[in-house]
Amino acid sequence: MQKKNRLTSPEMANLWTHYIRETLSICVNKYMLHTIQDPEIHSLFQTALHYSLKHIDTLKALFKKEKFPIPKGFTEEDVNLEAPPLFTDVLCLKSLYMMSTL
């Protein structure tokens, strides 16, 4: 009988960190989608949001497989989508680039 390989503590910590970062990205991207005016930049944020949501689904599946609790992460309670724009579209694009390189 083959022993099942379990993830190590550092591997789980990395998954946990990635989950928190992706939930933050979802909140930021949703806010940016409410404020961005440029259609091309808006489209990039829609793509980024799509990938973050897919990553969250994958991470949740890994947590469930490992019988590990799913972190709360950032939620809709942590962002006010009705807040006025805080940044220009170009600065939003620059932040998206920086977030995608991490």
State percent of the chain over pLDDT 90: 86
Any idea which residue has 């083959």 for tokens? 2
Mean pLDDT within 39-50:
96
Q: How do residues 61-94 score in pLDDT, each as one tens digit?
A: 999 999 999 999 999 999 999 999 989 999 999 9
CA distance 70 to 51: 19
Sign of CA dihedral 43, 49, 55, 61: negative
Mean pLDDT within 36-54:
96
Closest CA to 76 of 24, 21, 18, 17: 24
